[in-house]
Amino acid sequence: MKILAEPVDAVVIFRKGAVPAPYKFKYEQNGERYEIRIDKVLAVEKRRTAGIASILYNCQSVIDGQEKRYELKYLLADCRWELYKI
């Protein structure tokens, strides 16, 4: 996986008493737009690297007929989602 740190549009489910769970997100690569539904969240990690609070989601989805692993990041202070690694 390569670090992209690309801001993305995301639809997220906020459940009471749980960390927000990403449902789907949109991103653009090589001029092509992808809309990806998150099939599985494999791991969630709270991080504070460089003092910046974030939640890192290790996810899995079928993209172009292929099962792929990638990481989504939620930046708490900015309330922003990033496609962190793919």
Partner 1 sequence: MGIIFHIDANSAYLSWTAVHMLECGHPVDLREVPSVVAGDPKSRHGIILAKSIPAKEYGIKTGESLMEARGKCPELFVAAPDYDLYLDCSDAMFSILSQFSPLVERYSVDECFLDYTASEKRFGNPLKTAHRLREKISGELGFTVNVGISTNKLLAKMAGELKKPDMVHTLWPKEIEKKLWPLPVRELFMVGGATERKLRKLNIRTIGDLAKADPVVLQALLKSHGLKIHDYANGIDSARVLPNDLVLQKGFSNCVTLSWDITDREEAHTALLSLTERLAMRLRTSGKAAYLVSISVCTSTFFHYSRQEKLHNPICTTTVCYQHFKRLFDKTWRGEPVRQLGVRVSELAESDEYQLSFSEAESEKEKCLERTVDGIRKRFGNNAVIRGTFANSSLPPMQGGVNDGNYLMMGGYRHENFGGTG
- Tokens 């969240």 — which residue? 41
Helix (H, G, I), strand (E, B) or coil at 49: helix
Q: Which is nearer to partner 1, 24 or 58 (CB)?
A: 58
Task: For the chain, state the CA radius of gyration.
Answer: 13
Which two tokens mark 51? 């003092």
Q: How far is the CB of 7 from partner 1 (least distance, A)?
A: 11
Q: Is residue 38 within 8 Å of residue 61, measured between CB atoms?
A: yes
7-46 positions binding partner 1, by CB under 8 A: none
Q: Kindly tell me which residue out of 26, 37, 40, 47 binds partner 1, with binding defined by CB under 8 A.
A: 47
Count residues binding partner 1 (CB under 8 A): 11
Provide the binding-site residues for partner 1, judged by CB under 8 A: 2-5, 47-52, 77
